[in-house]
Amino acid sequence: MIYLDNCSTTRPREEVVKVISQSMVEDFANPSSLHRLGMRAEKKIKESREYISRYLNVESSEIYFTSGGTESNNIAIQSVVNKLHKRGKHIITTKIEHSSVLNIMKSYEKQGYSVTYLNVDEHGIISLDELRSNISQETILVAIMHVNNEIGSIQPISEINRLIKEINPNTIFHVDGVQGFGKVELSLKASGVDSYSFSGHKIYGPKGIGGLYIDKKHTLAPILYGGNQEKGLRSGTENLTGIIGFGEAVRIMNDNFYKEAKHAYELKKSFATKIKEEIEDIKFNTTLDERSSPYILNVSFKYVRGEVLLHYLEDKEIYVSTSSACSSKGTEKSHVLRGISLKDEEIEGAIRFCFSYENTIEDIDYTIQILKESISDIRQITKR
């Protein structure tokens, strides 16, 4: 099997599976319990929180555990809007955000908020001039993703924050970091972001666990209420097993970050070079330089439908995606690919390849061979 759908989810590392299995046997107690087993569980949560805060170079008290990226985005955005709605009713985001952000924005528009959706260029990057012209004293929140999940474009987070604070220091800047966390460098303190979402299963950890960084200068109100776990921001008994596995995944990632990012970029570069040499009528929707994630390559194959090619590859045990896994079962064309002004045929023929530390150059060579054969077969039919 060759798995190139690592933006949708990753296979948990063996070390992560091991600590999860062990925790299900040994660490089953409720972390809120006062007895020894409960205190032991609480200690494991503290350890994982410290692994994550150390990686992000923030204080452990600024890290909150959630169920994943979607919940983190919802908590950050809704809490900010609930808190600041009397100051203004204007929000800024982009046209290529994840659905967990865009769907909240649609909800706020129905409630009378004004939402500005920033355009992106052909590489998926926003214009700082357009951002500058839209920030006002009414703007309470700017929500922009760090790395796009379909094409890998990296937004200039530090420059964006500097611009926001120059014009309106009271505006909160939330960053959806789900595809950037553990894959692309970002200093949260140096860049000055106010909140940042991340997820466990994108970095070889378990599903159902994520996190939210909130700068300690902010106090956000919860959007659901219960037993006041996570300092009251995210009530509900902690997903102890998930938190332990997440912590282990971050601990390993912290040691391997540069080595694995370099490996992924070498695979991406080799893959792109070979596709260009071997297959005609293609278009790269991802840049091959520092403006995109080393882990993501999106390519349009002309005269080919992406879902047909996906199944051709699947027959050979090669797994890819046509777009975001959260929207790939829908009937509408990718809003991200529309956002970078692709033609309909380019959107229909787009495939996203996402690499990991597990992939090898031999995997890339085999995938190119199967791609070439599959595309030739499909085009013989579509060009009749």
Q: Does position 327 have pLDDT exceeding 60, yes or no?
A: no
Give me the amino acid identity at 162.
R
Q: What is the rounded average pLDDT of the residues 242-261? A: 97
At residue 81's C-alpha, the angle toward residues 76 and 86, to 5°, is 155
CA 34 vs CA 43, 45, 135, 233, 288: distances in Å: 12, 15, 49, 21, 53
What is residue 329's predicted lDDT score, i.e. its pLDDT? 59
What is residue 328's predicted lDDT score, i.e. its pLDDT? 54
For residue 91, the Cα-to-chain-centroid distance in whole angstroms is 21
For residue 252, give both structure tokens.
């390993």
Give me the amino acid identity at 308.
V
More confident residue, 208 or 327: 208
HSE-CB of 299 using CA atoms within 13 angstroms: 25
Q: Does position 56 have pLDDT exceeding 80, yes or no?
A: yes
Contact 128/160 with Cβ under 8 angstroms?
A: yes
Q: What is the rounded average pLDDT of the residues 375-381? A: 94
Q: Does position 325 have pLDDT exceeding 60, yes or no?
A: no
Q: Can you tell me which residue has the tokens 């599903």?
A: 207
> What pLDDT digit, counting tens, does each position of 105-117 carry?
999 999 999 999 9
Mean pLDDT score of the chain, rounded to an integer? 95
> What pLDDT digit, counting tens, does each position of 276-307 carry?
999 999 999 999 999 999 999 999 999 999 99
**Residue percentage of the chain with pLDDT more than 90:** 96
What is residue 333's predicted lDDT score, i.e. its pLDDT? 86
Q: What is the rounded average pLDDT of the residues 244-267? A: 97
Long-range Cβ contacts of 29-34 (<8 Å, 24+ apart): 30/237, 31/229, 31/237, 31/238, 31/240, 32/227, 32/229, 32/237
Q: Which residues are catalytic?
A: 326
Q: What is the rounded average pLDDT of the residues 227-241? A: 94
Give me the amino acid identity at 199.
S
Q: Does position 331 have pLDDT exceeding 90, yes or no?
A: no
Q: What is the rounded average pLDDT of the residues 228-245? A: 95
Helix axes 361-382, 306-315, angle to 10 degrees: 130
HSE-CB of 301 using CA atoms within 13 angstroms: 27
Q: What is the rounded average pLDDT of the residues 340-357? A: 96
> What pLDDT digit, counting tens, does each position of 136-193 carry?
999 999 999 999 999 999 999 999 999 999 999 999 999 999 999 999 999 999 999 9
Nearest partner of 179 among 351, 13, 354, judged by Cα? 354
Q: What is the rounded average pLDDT of the residues 124-131? A: 98
Nearest partner of 231 among 13, 75, 21, judged by Cα? 75
pLDDT band for 332, please (50, 70, 90 cuts): confident
Q: What is the rounded average pLDDT of the residues 375-379? A: 96
Contact 146/186 with Cβ under 8 angstroms?
A: yes
What is residue 383's predicted lDDT score, i.e. its pLDDT? 73
CA trace torsion 50, 52, 54, 60 (10° rounding): -50
Most distant CA pair in the chain, distance? 73
Q: What is the rounded average pLDDT of the residues 236-263? A: 97
- 3-state helix/strand/coil string of the chain: CEECECCCCCCCCHHHHHHHHHHHHHCCCCCCCCCHHHHHHHHHHHHHHHHHHHHHCCCHHHEEEECCHHHHHHHHHHHHHHHHCCCCCEEEEECCCCHHHHHHHHHHHHCCCEEEEECECCCCCECHHHHHHHCCCCEEEEEEECECCCCCEECCHHHHHHHHHHHCCCCEEEEECCCCCCCCCCCHHHHCCCEEEEECHHHCCCCCCEEEEECCCCCCCCCCCCCCCHHHCCCCCCCHHHHHHHHHHHHHHHHHHHHHHHHHHHHHHHHHHHHHHHCCCEEECCCCCCCECCCEEEEEECCCCHHHHHHHHHHCCEECECCCCCCCCCCCCCHHHHHCCCCHHHHHCEEEEECCCCCCHHHHHHHHHHHHHHHHHHHHHHCC
What is residue 153's predicted lDDT score, i.e. its pLDDT? 98
Contact 117/125 with Cβ under 8 angstroms?
A: no
Distance, in Å, from the CA atom of 45 to the CA atom of 174, rounded to the nearest integer, reads 25
Distance, in Å, from the CA atom of 237 to the CA atom of 174, rounded to the nearest integer, reads 26
CA 335 vs CA 98, 152, 325: distances in Å: 10, 14, 13
